[in-house]
Structure 1
Amino acid sequence: MYLQEIKTILADTLSLPPGAADALTADSALMGSIPELDSMAVVQLIATLEEQFGFAIDDDEIDASTFATVGSLAKFVEFKLTA
């Protein structure tokens, strides 16, 4: 799974305080739980994922469940890379 990479991308993209990413687990909630993850940050995060992993994300591929937890986002990345 791509959990560590996702944690690093979240920390960098959201400018989280030092050590904050280390505290994240697969079950850590994202939307509504991390104040830095607003609608503009989601757009930036999607662009970063596309650049980092070399895939394109269509609008109809993502919904709130994709960004529910760190683990759900990592599973989405894994799905995109194996599709």
Structure 2
Amino acid sequence: MTTVPNIDSAAEEAALDRELKALIADVLGLDPEQAAAFGPDSGLFGHLPELDSMAVAGLLTEMEDRLGIIIDDDDVDGEMLETYGGLLAFARAKLGRA
């Protein structure tokens, strides 16, 4: 039996990916093309000088605003901020798409 991917899910995933990359570019003042090139293993915290501890708060606040999620202090750890893939997985889980 062959399964057909859910087109809505693929479109939602692509939209989340685009929105998260745009959000990162906006908050950190990155070139949108740089953010658009992020892949799952692209380093964030500790790799991007723009993403310091002060910028993390802004990034999380903007994620709450744009994605309509609530991020509790207990949700935040180094793993979710280490790579773009980790941050995307975190956003996906918060949106109930994990």
Q: What is the TM-score normalised by the length of structure 1?
A: 0.91
Extract unaligned runs of 5+ from structure 1: none
Aligned residues: 83
Which has the higher relative contact order, 1 or 2, with Cα contacts under 8 A spaced 6 or more apart?
1
Larger mean Cα displacement after TM superposition, 33-42 or 16-25: 16-25
Extract unaligned runs of 5+ from structure 2: 1-12
Counterpart Cα distance in 1 of 2:69 and 2:34 = 27
**Mapping of 1:1-83 within 5 angstroms?**
1=13, 2-82=16-96
State the Cα RMSD in Å: 1.4
Larger mean Cα displacement after TM superposition, 10-19 or 27-36: 10-19
Q: What is the TM-score normalised by the length of structure 2?
A: 0.78
- Bigger radius of gyration among the two: 2
Q: What is the deviation of 1:3?
A: 2.2
Asked if the contact 1:3/1:26 (under 8 Å) is kept, the reply is no
Amino acid at match of 1:67: L
State the Cα deviation string for residues 21-71 of structure 1 (Å, max 9, x = none): 122112101011100000110000000000011111110011000101111
